[in-house]
Amino acid sequence: MTKTADIPEGEVEAFEIGDCNIALYHLDDGDFFATDNICTHALAYLSDGFLEGSTIECPLHGGCFDVKTGEGLCAPVTEALVTYPVRITDDETLEVALPI
């Protein structure tokens, strides 16, 4: 179980949830977002990349994604990331909605 305080603002953390490898982002504005953790261009963990604002840069080839929408922002990315809804419960626990 992950709490909001476990992920500092401006950071991204990786989580294995079932068969899914998820990147959970805590943006500088306090919002949380979740995407697949694997870059759509090549096998690289986005959680090892560079988060600036709401843009994550892949550590392998420098492709960038908007973590709010999953949209690819520059080459070599040609496919968007899957995004997942995040909610915060009353006790500040982060919950990610994954497909069944």
Torsion angle of C-alpha atoms 21, 59, 47, 72, degrees rounded to 10: -70
- Is the pLDDT at 81 greater than 90? The verdict is yes
Q: Sorting pLDDT into bands at 50, 70 and 90, what band is 99?
A: confident
pLDDT for 18 equals: 83
User: Computed from CA positions of residues 99, 20, 84, 42, in that sequence, does the dihedral angle turn out positive or negative?
Assistant: negative
pTM, entire model: 0.94
Q: CATH for 4-96?
A: 2.102.10.10
Could you report the per-residue pLDDT of 25-68, keeping only the tens digit for each? 999 999 999 999 999 999 999 999 999 999 999 999 999 999 99
DSSP for 42-63 reads SS-BGGGSEEETTEEE-TTT--
Amino acid at 1: M
Q: What is the per-residue pLDDT across 82-98, written as a single tens digit (0 to 9) for each?
A: 999 999 999 999 999 99
